[in-house]
Structure 1
Amino acid sequence: MTRKLALLGSAVCLVLSAASACADDLPVRKAGLWEMKMVRSGSQMPEMTMQHCTDETVDKEMNNNVSPMAKQICAKQDIKKTATGYVTDSECSVAGVSTTSHAEITGDFNSAYTVKTTMHAQGGAAGSAGRDTTMQLEAKWLGACKPEQKPGDIVMPGGFKMNVRDIDKLKALLPK
Structure 2
Amino acid sequence: MRRLLLVSCLAVGALALLSASGAVAVELPVRKAGLWEMKVVSTGSPSSEMTMQQCTDETTDKGMSTAMSPLAKEICSKQDIQKTATGYVTDSVCGVAGITVKSRAEITGDFNSAYTVKSTSQSEGGMAGAARDNSSTIEAKWLGACKADQKPGDIIMPGGMKMNIKDMEKLKALIPKK
TM-score by length of 2: 0.89
Aligned to 1:43, the other structure's residue is in SS state coil
Letter in 2 for 1:90: S
**How many residues are treated as equivalent by the alignment?**
174
Structure 1 unpaired stretches of 5+: none
What is the CA-CA distance between 1:71 and the residue it aligns to? 1.3
Q: Which residue of structure 1 lines up, in the alignment, with residue 16 of structure 2?
A: 17
Matched ranges for 1:21-170 at <5 A: 21-23=20-22, 25-128=27-130, 130-170=131-171
CA RMSD of aligned residues (A): 1.9
Q: Which residue of structure 1 lines up, in the alignment, with residue 6 of structure 2?
A: 7
What is the CA-CA distance between 1:91 and the residue it aligns to? 0.7
- Return closer, same or farther for 1:113/1:173 CA change in 2, 3 Å cut-off: farther
Identity %, equivalent residues: 63
TM-score by length of 1: 0.90
- Return closer, same or farther for 1:172/1:47 CA change in 2, 3 Å cut-off: farther
Which stretches of structure 1, 4 residues or more, deviate above 4 A after TM superposition?
Answer: 172-176
Distance in 2 (CA, whole Å) between partners of 1:92 and 1:16 is 7
Structure 2 unpaired stretches of 5+: none
